């Protein structure tokens, strides 16, 4: 069926407890705090310690499913169990997913994702089971800490997502959480850099390292100050510009930007070098025959990366036994930088290669940060996220911007997780955001006398009047300031037919400020909203107001019947859209058993296909003529007066 808008209740901020799940590319974690603790000490946040051996409050984002597709382990346990299965040759029927969050960013088709060996499962199933594991793990911890009096209805769940993700990926995570058992009314989506910004505002700023002085450390979050947040995670880098307002809330100054420049980018560069040294075929064979060895190699690399700085002269990694006889550094274009020791159990990378390795991704980040700093005249950069713990990235940033204040919290990798808890308690602390797109609905305009419409396919005759269709009726302009929970520009619509009982508004977004038609290349359909107008006694004089509200991190659209006062409040469900690059195309509509089809030319779409319409008598199948009942002409239009002009706008849902 086509994408639709679905009702999604607002999450209450008055719950007894806020529980946050930071579902990261490389590492994930959860944390919580009670409403009472938040009021008394906002930083009293409990984060789970996943391993006594590793100094981390996060666990690897790895999920292990057995042959029946049942989740049997997550995190460190998944790595360990799969390694043991692989060593015994008993892993072939299992599914091992690691760092699979990036597949939502990289893949056009979000239906299926691949595990480490190329086997596929439904993406929604994998993500929902992983979130369910984190949810149950946190609930167990609450029980272990004698919080038995707190029920699941008393918890506001917060799930983090990168700010640069498209709307469909964000909606995917929301729906995955709902399938995991988290009720929509108890769920809040938090943008990662915003969460980190909230946390850094709360912590004692004297603990922030790298501030030029204690005074400057406190001044960073003084009212009126502006700063750039560099959220460098495992997969993506999110960059946002914030300003602190006089009421201590935060205003976004520019839309989030960034790219896939996180820490895992370095892993790709590293493994490309290994493929050259050992031969691509041999390396692929090693991964297939010794997956446990491959996982151990990745874990060792992850540990080494944390300590690499610009002054590091070399690093060495253990060569798995399967590859030792195949090591030949001369096959690599970086042969002069590599040393394979006599026993071939160690492979050394010298200083020049390390710098080449890191510089590629770090320079991409620096170039983008430089552009934003110059654009907004910003003096302070706040570095958060796991990759911000990298000494090399920190040193590169300080060298590139010697006259700027570079601030790195002592627990940069936890800023998003703990900030998500704070956001759950007070989501209105982000007072406004910047619109990433232009938003509106499709309309029809009467063709004026002498007007030349180049595309005749846009012309429709309705009630004896000639209209051009698919005109973009704008409600929100790209780059506009979107205040928290405040309705944007409203438009008033009227039905075109006296017996019309529903108006369907199709909603679109556009990457340009002033789109002309909804089918322009820059426009994407998001879904639709149906507003009922059952009382036909007023004929055409039945006003319906439509408005967009950006109160949280998602889009809400409201349609108000002015006669009854009834409000249809909905959020978007993007599931029934496919993606082509950044384009979302509707899938063919599912055929319902009881539908009536109008076969007149007015009701055919541009390809001549016949649509189905709801709430009509009779049955029919697409393309098959009916000989029985005469069908009603199924138009769904609206008319509106634009308060800013004398022009009459006509809504058309074709």
pLDDT tens track for 114-129: 998 889 999 999 999 9
Contact 528, 4 (CB under 8 A): yes
Higher local confidence (pLDDT), 235 or 241: 241
Asked if pLDDT for residue 177 goes beyond 90, the answer is: yes
Per-residue model confidence (pLDDT) at position 483: 86
Q: Which residues contact 476 (CB under 8 A, 6 or more apart)?
A: 435, 437, 438, 439, 440, 482, 488, 489, 548, 550
Per-residue model confidence (pLDDT) at position 218: 52
pLDDT category at 64 given cuts 50, 70, 90 is very high
pLDDT category at 446 given cuts 50, 70, 90 is confident
Closest by CA to 234, choosing from 265, 189, 256, is: 265
Asked if pLDDT for residue 362 goes beyond 50, the answer is: yes
Asked if pLDDT for residue 494 goes beyond 60, the answer is: yes
- Tell me: the pLDDT tens digits for 275-300? 877 778 888 888 877 878 888 888 88
Per-residue model confidence (pLDDT) at position 645: 31
Task: State the average pLDDT over residues 492-499.
Answer: 81
Per-residue model confidence (pLDDT) at position 333: 59
Per-residue model confidence (pLDDT) at position 6: 38
* One-character DSSP codes across 377-440: T--EEEEESGGGG-HHHHHHHHHH-TTSEEEB-TTGGGHHHHHHHHHHH-GGGEEEEE-SSEEE
pTM, full prediction: 0.76
Per-residue model confidence (pLDDT) at position 457: 81
Highest mean pLDDT among 140-154, 184-198, 590-604: 184-198
Q: CA torsion angle for 143, 147, 149, 155 (degrees, to 10)?
A: -90
Asked if pLDDT for residue 364 goes beyond 70, the answer is: yes
Percent of the chain's residues with pLDDT above 90 = 35
CATH 3.30.420.40 domain residues, the chain: 11-193
Asked if pLDDT for residue 650 goes beyond 50, the answer is: no
Per-residue model confidence (pLDDT) at position 128: 96
Name which CATH class applies to 11-193.
alpha beta
Closest by CA to 358, choosing from 304, 428, 435, 317, is: 304
Per-residue model confidence (pLDDT) at position 514: 96
Task: State the average pLDDT over residues 260-270.
Answer: 86
Per-residue model confidence (pLDDT) at position 540: 81
CA dist list (Å): 451 to 229, 389, 448, 459, 515: 50, 61, 5, 12, 19
CATH number of the domain at 435-652, out of 2.60.34.10, 3.40.50.11540, 3.40.50.720, 2.60.40.3500?
Answer: 2.60.34.10
* Measured distance CA(255)–CA(131) in Å, rounded: 28
Q: What is the mean pLDDT of the chain?
A: 77
CATH 2.60.34.10 domain residues, the chain: 435-652
pLDDT category at 551 given cuts 50, 70, 90 is low
Per-residue model confidence (pLDDT) at position 296: 84
Per-residue model confidence (pLDDT) at position 301: 84
Q: Which of 184-193, 394-403, 597-606 has the lowest mean pLDDT?
A: 597-606
Per-residue model confidence (pLDDT) at position 1: 27
- Reading across the β-sheet that carries 237-244, which strands appear in turn? 405-407, 380-384, 226-232, 237-244, 250-259, 430-434, 481-483
Asked if pLDDT for residue 400 goes beyond 80, the answer is: yes
Task: State the average pLDDT over residues 500-525.
Answer: 91
Task: State the average pLDDT over residues 459-466.
Answer: 78
- Find tokens 């390390």 and name the residue: 354
- Strand-pair partners of 491: 546
Higher local confidence (pLDDT), 427 or 626: 427
pLDDT category at 105 given cuts 50, 70, 90 is confident
Per-residue model confidence (pLDDT) at position 607: 34
Asked if pLDDT for residue 465 goes beyond 60, the answer is: yes
Task: State the average pLDDT over residues 36-53.
Answer: 86
Closest by CA to 274, choosing from 320, 234, 217, 314, is: 320
Show the CA angle centred on residue 580, arms to residues 551 and 585, nearest 5°: 65
Per-residue model confidence (pLDDT) at position 552: 64
Higher local confidence (pLDDT), 573 or 140: 140
Asked if pLDDT for residue 266 goes beyond 70, the answer is: yes
């Amino acid at each position: 069926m086509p994408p639709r808008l679905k009702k999604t209740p607002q999450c209450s901020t008055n719950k007894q407890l806020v529980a946050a799940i930071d579902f990261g590319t490389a590492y994930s974690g959860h944390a919580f705090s009670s409403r009472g603790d938040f009021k008394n000490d906002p930083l009293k946040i409990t984060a789970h310690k996943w391993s006594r051996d590793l100094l981390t409050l996060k666990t690897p984002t790895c999920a292990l499913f057995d042959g029946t597709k049942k989740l049997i382990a997550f995190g460190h346990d998944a790595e360990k169990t799969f390694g043991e299965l692989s060593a015994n040759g008993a892993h072939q029927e299992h599914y091992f997913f690691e760092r699979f969050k990036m597949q939502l960013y990289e893949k056009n088709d979000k239906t299926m994702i691949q595990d480490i060996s190329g086997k596929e499962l439904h993406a929604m199933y994998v993500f929902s089971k992983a979130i369910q594991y984190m949810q149950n793990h946190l609930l167990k911890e609450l029980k272990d800490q004698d919080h038995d009096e707190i029920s699941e209805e008393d918890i506001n769940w917060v799930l983090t997502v990168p700010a640069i993700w498209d709307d469909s990926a964000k909606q995917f995570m929301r729906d995955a959480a709902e399938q995991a058992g988290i009720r929509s009314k108890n769920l809040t989506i938090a943008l990662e850099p915003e969460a980190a910004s909230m946390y850094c505002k709360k912590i004692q700023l004297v603990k922030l390292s790298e501030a030029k002085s204690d005074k400057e450390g406190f001044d960073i979050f003084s009212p009126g100050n502006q700063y750039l947040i560099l959220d460098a995670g495992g997969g993506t880098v999110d960059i946002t510009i914030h300003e602190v307002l006089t009421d201590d809330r935060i205003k976004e100054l520019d839309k989030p930007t960034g790219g896939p420049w996180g820490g895992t980018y370095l892993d790709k560069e590293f493994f490309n070098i290994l493929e050259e040294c050992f031969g691509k075929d041999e390396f692929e064979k090693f991964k297939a025959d010794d997956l446990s060895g491959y996982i151990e190699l990745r874990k060792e690399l992850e540990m080494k990366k944390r300590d690499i700085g610009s002054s590091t002269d070399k690093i060495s990694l253990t060569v798995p036994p399967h590859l030792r006889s195949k090591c030949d550094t001369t096959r690599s274009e970086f042969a002069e930088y590599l040393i394979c020791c006599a026993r071939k159990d160690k492979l050394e990378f010298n200083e020049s290669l390390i710098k080449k390795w890191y510089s590629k991704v770090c320079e991409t980040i620096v170039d983008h940060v430089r552009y934003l700093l110059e654009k907004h005249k910003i003096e302070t950069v706040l570095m958060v996220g796991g990759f911000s713990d990298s000494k090399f990235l920190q040193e590169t940033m300080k060298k590139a911007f010697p006259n700027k204040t570079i601030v790195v919290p002592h627990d940069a990798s936890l800023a998003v997780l703990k900030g998500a808890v704070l956001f759950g308690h007070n989501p209105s602390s982000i007072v406004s955001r910047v619109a990433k797109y232009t938003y509106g609905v499709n309309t029809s305009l009467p063709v004026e006398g002498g007007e030349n419409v180049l595309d005749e396919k846009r012309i429709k005759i309705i009630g004896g009047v000639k209209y051009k269709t698919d005109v973009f009726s704008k409600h929100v302009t790209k780059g506009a300031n979107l205040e928290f929970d405040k309705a944007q520009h409203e438009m008033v619509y009227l039905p075109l037919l006296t017996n019309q009982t529903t108006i369907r508004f199709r909603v679109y977004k556009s990457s340009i400020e002033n789109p002309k038609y909804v089918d322009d290349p820059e426009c994407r359909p998001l879904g639709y909203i149906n507003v009922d107008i059952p009382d036909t006694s007023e004929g055409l004089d039945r006003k319906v107001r439509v408005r967009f509200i950006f109160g949280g991190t998602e889009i809400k659209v409201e349609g108000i019947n002015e006669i009854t006062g009834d409000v249809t409040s909905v959020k978007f469900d993007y599931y029934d859209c496919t993606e082509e690059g950044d384009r979302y195309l509707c899938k063919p509509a599912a055929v319902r058993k009881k539908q009536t089809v109008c076969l007149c030319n007015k009701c055919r779409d541009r390809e001549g296909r016949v649509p189905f319409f709801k709430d009509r008598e009779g049955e029919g199948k697409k393309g098959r003529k009916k000989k029985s009942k005469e069908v009603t002409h199924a138009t769904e239009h609206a008319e509106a007066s634009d308060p800013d002009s004398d022009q009459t706008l006509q809504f058309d849902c074709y």
